[in-house]
Structure 1
Amino acid sequence: MFSVKELVDSNSLRSVPSNYICLNNPEDSILYNETENIPTIDFSQFTSSNPNERSKAIQQLGNACRDWGFFMLINHGVSETLRDEVIRASQGFFDLTEKEKMEHSGRNLFDPIRYGTSFNVTVDKTLFWRDYLKCHVHPHFNAPSKPPGFSQTLEEYITKGRELIAELLKGISLSLGLEENYIHKRMNVDLGSQLLVINCYPPCPKPELVMGLPAHTDHGLLTLLMQNELGGLQIQPNGKWIPVHPLPNSFFINTGDHMEILSNGKYKSVVHRAVANTKGIRFSVGIAHGPELDTIVGPAPELVGDDDPAAYRAIKYRDYMQLQQNHELDGKSCLDRIRI
């Protein structure tokens, strides 16, 4: 199977191969004027000594998870230098020879390191304009040894990311009316899964014909995402597609399916997709933070009652990830399979 980058690098593409042509137009139902309304959360307020400031930030966080399932995080303390190094190192990996990258072409979802293309070429009816590198980086850190320095840069970055998510999960617990460490304890977050996904979207001569990644939601609790200067992320919080334009040095954070399950539907996982462009290679670096793989996730008992019956059946996190991998990406179809 050719990677998209190899396909682009080896040919002066003027047309799109037929197996990549998507039937749905990515430009459908775009709502262009809503970007400025995307919630922005100031992380520094979570560590403020002013209790009123922290309380306000927690309320804003809860509103963002309930109404959008998505927000931009600013003043997070992760240096721009480190963020730039991660993007450069990621580009260095995808610039390796195909033979070097194929050393990591695992077929198993839980292989420590896995390089590939599209989403799952055994079930995808249409191939997606995307190559990826996936690394399970917690509770055991795994990363390719090439290019030099790549592994060390990633390890520093994912440690910073885990610290940010840990604080946000405390705020989310409080916003749900639960004890601050509720999610940490119930989801065994200290030993939880941290999956690094680096996406490479090469330029496409006809981006309107292809899809980088189709509409889907993420597994897990929260995903932390950054990208290079080329945009392509679109979210669908309320039925309309909204292109996301990041604030300088900000992170994107979106709630995952397991946050929706745990909160019994009070907080929603957001449907999102990635579109291609003609200008250059877009890189995105996402870290999906979830429970420990063998944790059984169901609605928190404290959020279930006579007026709010359980909306989802409990499922082991590992089994949910396998369920998603074995089917086509299609909106909330995976979550719908365990909806009561």
Structure 2
Amino acid sequence: MSASALAIAETLDDESTALPVIDLSELDAPENRAEFHQRLARIACDTGFFYLEGHGIDVAQIRELERLTRETFKLSAEAKDRIAIRNTPHFRGYTGVGGEITRLKPDLREQLDFGEELPAVTSTDPNHPIWWSLQGPNQWPVELPELKPAVLDWLDKTRAVAERLLSAFLVALGQEPDALDELIGTPRNHRLKIIHYPGQPQGQSDQGVGAHKDGGLLTLLLQDDVGGLQVLGQNGWIDVPPRKNAFVINIGEMLELATNGYLRANVHRVVSPSNGADRYSIAYFFTPSLNAQEVPLLALSDELANQATGPESDPDNPLFRHIGTNALKGRIRSHLDVAERFYPEQFAQLKAQAAAHGRPLQASTY
């Protein structure tokens, strides 16, 4: 690691406006691996957020997906509506500004959600777990045919990076590098969002995305050059400024569960850009397979286990160890229109919970 990167890493405790930097290519040199794993474990335990460089994804591929992201959101309202997320139970497709909900408040962004391109799971068994409905095909805009191959290739490339990073985490925690292979096996359940945050007038809501934790294992976020991402530190919100061609990595709740809280899923948010500006980002969510059942608890060394404080769970958004239950819960809470149409029982439960807290909930409001 360069002297400048080391300086960044050491200043985070002072609520710096930058995160530590990890260079994944250091793993290519055997003599660097021990130091790399030590630094990775410390940074992940302390912050749960860092920049990732040396990931190996070609810059030309990054620029192309960024271009296609901008082109996607230039499509007409009619084209976007044809691939609306409310069309299917799989939570794949377009969501307009205010259509996704975080902590019962609308997020001021539009986005297109994708997952692994897989057939829908169908079954006539009434006991078939409802969360298998999360698996299914994507919706693609016919007006932009080059988007599909670009997204599917990006899913493959980012999955390879995430798998390598997860193995490095495991080694850093004294585990075998393949200790969680069953958790990330097939059928894969990884997700991708391409996102547009339109600028908001002063004095109105600036909730690009409300404060939350990610529910998977790891998130790999590619930002453009417009800021707005913040992570919650001990003394308040810390800006996460863009870093060219680097991913912002954050730990998800499933990895927090697997390590009994040694690795923390940090709270983060996005503040909308100012009026007249636009922010774009590409977020890849490395998520356990629906076939994996439950998140295993890793057997940490006594030294690390003594530092593990247990996973945190929001009373208003409880965390489940069961993969399918947790995944479906997160989707239903975020997309009320899909929940109301395809998951009426779960939507009714969420609506009753909101009413009990004095917060009326109605999907058609958004």
TM-score range, shorter chain: 0.7 to 0.9
Between the aligned partners of 1:123 and 1:78, the Cα distance in structure 2 is 31
State the match for 2:352 in structure 1.
none
* Secondary structure of 2:272 counterpart: coil
Q: CA deviation at 1:54?
A: 1.4
1:103 to 82, 98, 121: 82
1:197 to 193, 196, 209: 193
Identity of aligned residues (%): 26
CA contact (8 A) 1:224 1:252 kept: yes
* TM-score when normalising by structure 1: 0.77
Gapped regions of structure 2 (runs ≥ 5): 1-12, 120-136, 313-318, 336-366
2:22 to 30, 41, 52: 41
CA contact (8 A) 2:170 2:177 kept: yes
Q: 1:303-318 to 2 correspondence within 5 Å? A: 303=300, 315-318=321-324
State the match for 1:290 in structure 2.
287
* Secondary structure of 2:290 counterpart: coil
Aligned CA distance change for structure 1 residues 151 and 326 (closer, same or farther; 3 Å): closer
State the match for 1:59 in structure 2.
38
| Bigger RCO (CA 8 Å, 6+ sep) | 1
State the match for 1:180 in structure 2.
177
Q: CA deviation at 1:283?
A: 0.8
* Secondary structure of 1:254 counterpart: strand
CA contact (8 A) 1:296 1:314 kept: no
Alignment of 1:128 onto 2:128: no
Q: CA deviation at 1:112?
A: 6.1
Between the aligned partners of 2:76 and 2:254, the Cα distance in structure 1 is 37
Q: CA deviation at 1:316?
A: 2.3
Q: 1:62-211 to 2 correspondence within 5 Å? A: 62-107=41-86, 111=90, 113-117=92-96, 125-137=104-116, 142=138, 144=140, 145-185=142-182, 187-189=183-185, 191-206=187-202, 209-211=205-207
Q: CA deviation at 1:80?
A: 1.7
Aligned pairs, number = 295
CA contact (8 A) 1:72 1:246 kept: no
Aligned CA distance change for structure 1 residues 180 and 93 (closer, same or farther; 3 Å): same
* Secondary structure of 2:330 counterpart: helix
Gapped regions of structure 1 (runs ≥ 5): 1-30, 330-340
CA contact (8 A) 2:102 2:212 kept: no
* Secondary structure of 2:201 counterpart: coil
State the match for 1:17 in structure 2.
none
CA contact (8 A) 1:215 1:273 kept: yes
Aligned CA distance change for structure 1 residues 97 and 43 (closer, same or farther; 3 Å): same
Between the aligned partners of 1:311 and 1:93, the Cα distance in structure 2 is 38
State the match for 1:222 in structure 2.
218
Q: CA deviation at 1:162?
A: 0.8
Q: Deviations over 1:61-105 (max 9, x none)?
A: 211221111110112221221111111101111111111111121
Q: Deviations over 1:273-315 (max 9, x none)?
A: 0111124221111010111013233351524999779758863
Between the aligned partners of 2:152 and 2:334, the Cα distance in structure 1 is 31
